Amino acid sequence: MKVIDFTHTISEDMPVYPGTEGPKLRAANTYEKDGFKETLMTMYSHTGTHMDPPAHLFGHRTTLDDMDIQQFVGKALVVDCSDLKEGDQVGMDRIDREKADQADFLLFRMGWADKWGTDAYYGDYPCIDKAVAQYLIDSKKKGVGLDTIGIDPIPDEYLTIHRQLFAETEIVVMENLKNLDQAGNDLFFFCALPMKYKSSDGAPIRAIGIIGFQG
């Protein structure tokens, strides 16, 4: 059995979405002063490797804390799109329907995790097109993930794909994943658990994959 960590480490110098602020990690207690260490963390709910629920865009829709725990576990498939160029779109031709139809989660590898910590991470990363988004809706996927900072291009302030997915569907979007290249091209067990806080519009997650899990 092999366990893969798809999660970036939260740090003060990590990439954050344009217009937001980086996390602040301050020593609230220290070994020297208090005999133990505790950290005061201040950060946006969509910091680092994180999850968006429908309530991220629509006030009447489901928050993460109201979702059943089953929403966050299931079978996943990585769709390798790392050969695409900047500005390209991911169409249905990239998806192996025989495998994808069996998956609860589709995780798109754009190769962007390699750019983490550089200005290029904010570049014109490939995005899924509307047909792929509609497939996610029609096939009732639990979630979709990417190794980019957004499922929509940064200049798209309307958040077109977010809106298409969240308008009526109970689905989660996971951004800033990493190590998707380690998952292979077959189905595997996937788990992404968000921090549980009241009325959560989004939250950091610890996302993992387990290869060879028999459950």
Residues 74 and 174: their CA atoms lie apart, in Å, by: 14
pTM more than 0.85: yes
Does position 39 have pLDDT exceeding 90, yes or no?
yes
Which domains does the chain show, CATH number per domain?
A: 2-9+46-211 (3.50.30.50)
Beta-carbon contacts of 125 under 8 Å, excluding residues fewer than 6 positions away, are 86, 110, 112, 148, 149, 150, 153
Q: What is the pLDDT of residues 160-175, one digit of tens each?
A: 999 999 998 999 999 9
> Residues, the chain, total?
215
130 close to 159: Cβ distance less than 8 angstroms: no
Q: How confident is the model at residue 213 (pLDDT cuts 50, 70, 90)?
A: confident
Residues 41 and 27: their CA atoms lie apart, in Å, by: 9
> Percentage of the chain with pLDDT > 90?
98
Pairwise pLDDT comparison (212 vs 81), residue with the higher score: 81
Q: Helix, strand, or coil here: 110?
A: coil
Q: What is the pLDDT of residues 115-162, one digit of tens each?
A: 999 999 999 999 999 999 999 999 999 999 999 999 999 999 999 999
